Chain A
Amino acid sequence: MDYTLLFVQVLNGLQLGLLLFLVASGLTLVFGILDFVNLAHGSIYMFGAFIGASLTLLLGNFLLAVVIAVPLTGVLGYGIERLLARNLYDKDHLDHVLGSFGLILVLDTAAHMIWGPAGISVPLPAWLDGQVELFAGAVIPTYRLLIIAVGLAVAGGLLWLVNYTKLGMLIRAGASNRTMVSALGIDIQTLFALVFALGAMLAGLAGMLIAPITTASIGMGGQIIITTFVVIIIGGIGSMKGAFIGAIIIGLIDTLGRSFLDQLFELFMSESAAETAAPAVSAMMIYILMAAVLAVRPQGLFPPKVR
C-alpha cells in the first residue's frame, strides 16, 4: 500500500469533510434549534459562492471579497428569516418543506437571472494557487490546506460560541423551551433571526471557499444539501459536535471510497467492471452508512442532550 497516497487522500477527505461541516453546522443550528427545515440552505451556499466570485472579480482580491461577502450572506439569511421562515415556525414541518422548496426555485432563478447559467471561475492570489510539499512526495494544493485551517478554526469558534458564551446559552435554552426563554424577558425573535443569519453566513462561507475549486454555478446548492442532510442525520439533528464528526466521517468515506474502492473491487471482478462499479458504489456508501445509523441509533450518533 502506498502510504503517501493514503496520507494525501486522508487530507483531501478532511478538507471535504470540513467544507461539509460549514454547511451542516448552519443547517443543524436552524433545524435543531429553530426546529425549521430549511431546504433552501443549499441555495444560500450557492449565493455565497456567486457573491464571493463577483466581488473577487470586482475587487481583484479573493480574501477581501470573502471578508465582505460573508456579512452579505448574513444579511440575506436575516432577510429570509424575517420574510419567510418567521411565519412558518408554528406550522408543520411539511409547510417548512414547501416554503423553503419554493425559496429554492426563487433563489435559483434569481441567480440564473443575475449571473447567467455559465457560472464564474474565481482566480486565487498566487500565494494560494501553488502547492505545499508536506514531506517527500506528499504534495497538496495550498488552497486545500487553507480550507482545512479555516474549517478547523470555524469549528472551534462555533463549539466555543455554543458551549461557553451567553449567546450560546440562550441558543441552547431557546431550543429546549422557547416559551420559557421569552417569558424570562429574552427577545427570542431577534435571537432566532441571529441564529438564522449565522447559519446563512456559514453556508455562504462554504460556498465562497469551494468556488475557486469547482466554480460558482447554478445547481451547486441542490447537490450539497442532500449530503448535508445525511451529515446531520448521522451526527444527530441539532448537535454541533454531531455535525462535525458526521461531516468528517462522510468526507473521509467519500474520498477514500473514490480512491481505493476500485482496487478493492479488482480483487474479485474484472478491471473494466471494477472501473464502472466502484464510482457507483462509492457514491452510495454514505447513504448506506446513513441507513445503518438510522437502524441502530435513529436519533443519530451524538443527539443533543436536551431534546
Chain B
Amino acid sequence: MKKLLSAALAATMFTGLAQAAEVKIGYVTTLSTGGAVVGNDVKKGVELAIEHLGGKMGDLDINLIWGDDGFKPETGKQATDKLVKQDNVDFVAGYVWSNVLLASRKSALDAGKFLIGSNAGPGPIAGKLCHKNFFSTSWQNDQATMAMGEVLNQKGVKSIYIIAPNYAAGKGMVAGVKRTFKGDVLGTDMTTWPTQLDFSAELAKAKASGADALWVFYPGKAGGAFMKQYQQAGLKDSMPLYTSFTVDALSLPKFQAAGFNDVLGTQFALQWGPSMDNPQNKRFVADFRAKHDAFPSFYAAQAYDSMFLMDSAVSAVNGDLTNMDGMRDAMMANTYASVRGDYSYGNNHFPIQAYYLREVVVGEDGNWTTKIVQTISEGQADPYAKDCKM
C-alpha cells in the first residue's frame, strides 16, 4: 500500500514537473466558415514560427492549443473562455476580427492572462480599454488607413467615395482615412457584415457621386467579391480604386487564376511586405514558400511575429511564467526580431511603426505578389493612445 502511494505521489510530482516545463498558448483564429481562409494562413504562420523556434520558448516546450472563433464574436468568446478556464493557458493570442477581439478581451484579461493580438486592432482597446497585459503585433485599425489618407493627399486626389463593412474594424478604418484625407468625402456606405457580398447598389451610388477615387476596406473573401464587381462595373478609368486590407496574398492567386488583370497595379498601405529585406523576413518568406508554395499574407506574418514576441518574454524570465512583470517588461522593450524590421511599443502596447505603399506586381516567378514602392510615414502613435491611462 505504502509503495503504491509513493508511486502515485511520484507520478503526480512527475506530471507536475512536466507541466511546469511547458508554456501553454491558446491561439484563437477562424478555422471554420469562409473566414477559415484567413485562419488557415494564421495557422501556417504560427506553425512555421514553432518550427523556427525549435518547438521551444526559452527552455520550455511550446504547447499550443487552437481555438476556433467560427467568424462570430460569441463563438470567439466561448473559445477564449475554454482556453482560459479549462486549459489554463499562459498566453491567449490571435484574433483576426476586431469584433471577436472586443468580445473576448475581458475573458482573457480578467483571468490575468497575457493577450497578444496578432491582427485585430480596434480603437477602444488602444484607448479607454487599454490594458497592461495586452500587446499587439499588428496595428491599430486607424493607422494603416491614416497612412492611406496621406497617400491620397500625395497623389492629389480631391474627392473620394468610401465603402466599408459596418462593424468595429470597418468603422475604425473609415475614421482613419477621414482623419488624414484633406479632400472631400462625397459619400460613405457601410454595408452589413459579414453577409453582404453584393455591392451593386453601393457601386452605383459611388459612380453617381462623381468622386475622383474610391476607397474600400473588405478583408477576407468579401475583398475578392468586391474586386470582381468593381471590375465588372467598369469604373477603373473614371474612379481609381484604393484599398486597405482588401487585396492580400490569399486573394492574389485566386485573382490570377481568374485573370483579373485590373488588380495589377493596385496600391495599399501596410507595415510589412514579403519583399522586405531583413534576415528574419527572408527566412520566414523563403521557408513559408518552400512549405506551402504560396506567398505568406500579412495575417501569417503578424502571427509569426506574435510567437517570437512571446518567446522574447518567456526567454527573458528564464521560463519563470509566474514573473508576469518581467515578461511584460521584456515585451514592452521589444527586442525580438520582427519580420517588418524594428518597431517600438507605445503606451497602449500598440506598435509605433513605419508604413509602406505596396503595389501588386507580377513576381519573378510569374506569380502575382506585391512590392514596396515607397515609405509613407515613419511611425506615429495611433490616435487613441492619448485616451489610454498607462
Contact = CB atoms under 8 A, between A and B. Distances in A.
A276 B204 contact: no
B297 to A, nearest CB: 12
Contacts of B258: 121-123
B224 A258 contact: no
A79 interface: no
A283 interface: yes
Contacts of B221: 118-119, 215, 217
A139 interface: yes
B284 to A, nearest CB: 22
Interface string B198-229: 10111011011000000000000100110011
B197 interface: yes
A16 B171 contact: no
Interface in B182-202: 188-192, 195, 197-198, 200-202
Chain A binding surface SS class: helix
A263 to B, nearest CB: 9
Contacts of B35: 117
Contact of B254 (A121, A139, A218): A121
Interface stretch (A4-12, A65-73, A239-247): A4-12
B211 to A, nearest CB: 14
A16 B231 CA distance: 19
Given A119-B224, A139-B234, A259-B205, A16 B254 contact: no
A12 B260 CA distance: 23
Most-contacted residue by chain A among B228, B231, B254 (CB, 10 A) = B228
Interface string B252-295: 00110111100000000000000000000000000000000000
Interface residues of A, number: 48
B63 interface: no
B190 A276 contact: yes
A210 B200 CA distance: 12
A122 B37 CA distance: 17
A276 B34 contact: no
Interface string A273-294: 0011011101100000000000
Interface string B65-106: 000000000000000000000000000000000000000000
A42 interface: no
A217 B205 contact: no
A228 interface: no
A131 B234 contact: yes
Interface in A1-56: 2, 4-5, 8-9, 12-13, 15-16
Contacts of B260: 121, 123
B12 interface: no
Nearest to B188: A275
A57 interface: yes
B190 A275 contact: yes
B232 A121 contact: no
Interface in A120-143: 120-124, 129-131, 139, 141, 143
A57 B166 CA distance: 33
A8 B171 CA distance: 28
Contacts of B208: 2, 4-5, 8
A124 B197 CA distance: 18
A156 to B, nearest CB: 24
A118 B166 CA distance: 23
6 contacts: A8-B208, A12-B204, A117-B33, A119-B224, A131-B232, A259-B205
Interface of B: 32-37, 40, 166, 171, 188-192, 195, 197-198, 200-202, 204-205, 207-208, 221, 224-225, 228-229, 231-234, 250, 254-255, 257-260
